[in-house]
Chains A and B, each alone.
Chain A
């Protein structure tokens, strides 16, 4: 789960990482109230999970109440690359002497934590990496050893961060690492990490991505989950507890297992179609779950055919078939189903589907994944089958 900047800053603050005084605002009046409280000048920043906010006019400096009114009025409701801005973060403007970059992630290849630190911040770190890889210090951290202040200081020295900022940077690195580990982040990034003329080091931006698997020990994440921007289909799927990702094609997909679901998308593509979604129904494909899945797919107006791809391991083919028959009685589907059923009890399952009396133009059963994909794509593309 990716956090908005304001949520990231609030998360950082919990771990003692210095951020600018500020608050989130949903309206012009709220923006002015925050500005009056933190003191001018302020920066009004669009809250959107997309790069290039500044270029799009979503980040503005305001020296007084009128300027806040103008900028907040322009930014709230602004569309940045398809993201409509619903809120702004208003914070006390900072004087900037220098800009650095710091982040922690998990390096899967090394199976260790990875610190990336650079004295060249404020720009896209991928660009820095491409132009001058030596400008980025990469330090692996063994999770059972952790990061000490001394190691962090050495990283700051190695990254050629000026002497006057090294202690401040090291102190923030230790706190950011704590936030990354205890806060169960997939990514904790500060860009830019700034040095003020006064000598203080401080996080001017916050990019935080949380590991959804750890939500059981972070009840406070519910507030973040509530602000996630999902389309209508994804919202509906979340409420039904389904693993669903909306895409823009016309073949609705239901598969059991993430790998098979991904593979189904690929096969649909190979035979000339485009998937409308990714949907992993998991191991227990019963009538309840199948009904929920079909309801979500049916909600998508672009769907012209539905490809149900089930490989029974633990999932039993007869159970899946019963689930589909029952679900088709509960949901009035706009598009026909093409099903491929294999594995455990697949034959019993196919017999149940054949005996259910569902018209052949509503439900078609195919023996292989490729055959089923071809039929589903032909229907979606408006060809006779």
Chain B
């Protein structure tokens, strides 16, 4: 099994006729994802290499039965696109858009909670989600992900950073470890989906035997995950936290990655996770090696 998305997930790409949307939408389809439609207002009736384009998400959902959406539109348009998808009944929305203002993210999150509580948003500013061999929504290169084996010792990945998500997939592939689902939650201040949301699903998923988590400095998401793991996670985990050497008060690229007032440090996060029984790697490779040891010890 996989979490959130699988071989039955039908995806609509918002912004399919734009540069990013077209490139990644077609790549996702080539991977085997059921990309059933695209949305660009005013371009309904056209198609992108055989994928029908609709004027609105509601039209697209009606015609195709899509239950997931891939938002690949610029930051100015992303909030409205997300809320449009939620209003059209889409249950899973992936927004890769980088540069969405934090105030907009907070408002979108609160609006979804109030008006569409059963809709899950992944992102903004995330690489997306891949259930190897089944479904890939977003910008991950599918070939670096190892598909899970049936009844095998497979791992779930959750990560706050894009390239480190690929690195994690790559490390596990080097170790020959299959991945059920890899979720990139993104590094922005108000992510739609948190570490905890993903760990909860992985814990429930019988095919996922262990979890690899990639965190970074800033905020307290890793500490919250540690509290959750202590109380609710029975499966073994390894983790890596980026930014041990990041100076305080400097935003390290991601809007969310900043150590301020002594809070959000990598050391604090590592200590919290370690106290919850998670094995901590000093770098991504070590986290992958630790995962290989965990897997080897599993019955």
Contact = CB atoms under 8 A, between A and B. Distances in A.
Interface of A: 106, 108-109, 111-113, 126, 142-145, 181, 184, 186, 211-214, 216-217, 243, 245, 247, 255-263, 265-270, 275, 278, 280, 283, 311-314, 342-344, 368-370
Contacts of B189: 106, 108
A313 B141 contact: yes
Given A106-B103, A245-B247, A313-B140, 7 more contacts: A109-B219, A213-B255, A258-B253, A260-B163, A262-B252, A266-B244, A313-B166
B132 to A, nearest CB: 14
A245 B166 contact: no
B162 interface: yes
A344 B167 CA distance: 11
Given A106-B106, A216-B76, A263 B253 contact: no
A312 B162 CA distance: 11
B76 A259 contact: no
Give the one of A213, A260, A311, A312 with max B CB within 10 A: A213
B283 A245 contact: no
A368 B111 CA distance: 44
B252 A245 contact: yes
Contact of A213 (B99, B141, B219): B99
A106 B101 CA distance: 12
Interface residues of B, number: 60
A343 B106 CA distance: 34
Interface in B106-146: 106-107, 109-111, 114, 127, 139-141, 143-144
B285 A368 contact: yes
Give the one of A184, A245, A260 with max B CB within 10 A: A260
Contact of A259 (B100, B110, B224, B242): B242
Contacts of B266: 266
Nearest to B161: A259
Nearest to A248: B247
Given A106-B190, A342-B170, A143 B261 contact: no
Contacts of B76: 216-217
Given A265-B245, A266-B283, A258 B254 contact: yes
B217 interface: yes
Nearest to A182: B103
B106 A143 contact: yes
B164 A260 contact: yes
Shortest 7 CB-CB contacts between residues of A and residues of B: A259-B161, A258-B253, A257-B163, A214-B101, A259-B164, A260-B163, A262-B242
A113 B170 contact: no
Contact of A311 (B160, B170, B216): B170
A313 B163 contact: yes
B279 to A, nearest CB: 17
A261 B253 contact: yes
B138 to A, nearest CB: 10
B101 to A, nearest CB: 4
Nearest to A312: B141
B141 A270 contact: no
A266 B110 contact: no
7 contacts: A211-B255, A216-B75, A259-B161, A261-B253, A265-B245, A311-B170, A369-B285
A145 B110 CA distance: 9
Interface string B251-289: 011111100010000100000000000000011110000
Given A267-B283, A312-B141, A344-B143, A144 B107 contact: yes
Given A108-B189, A257-B161, A370-B283, A311 B166 contact: yes
B144 A343 contact: yes
Contacts of B106: 106, 111-113, 143
Contact of B283 (A186, A243, A256, A369): A369
Give the one of A108, A109, A214, A269 with max B CB within 10 A: A108
Interface string B158-174: 01111111110010000
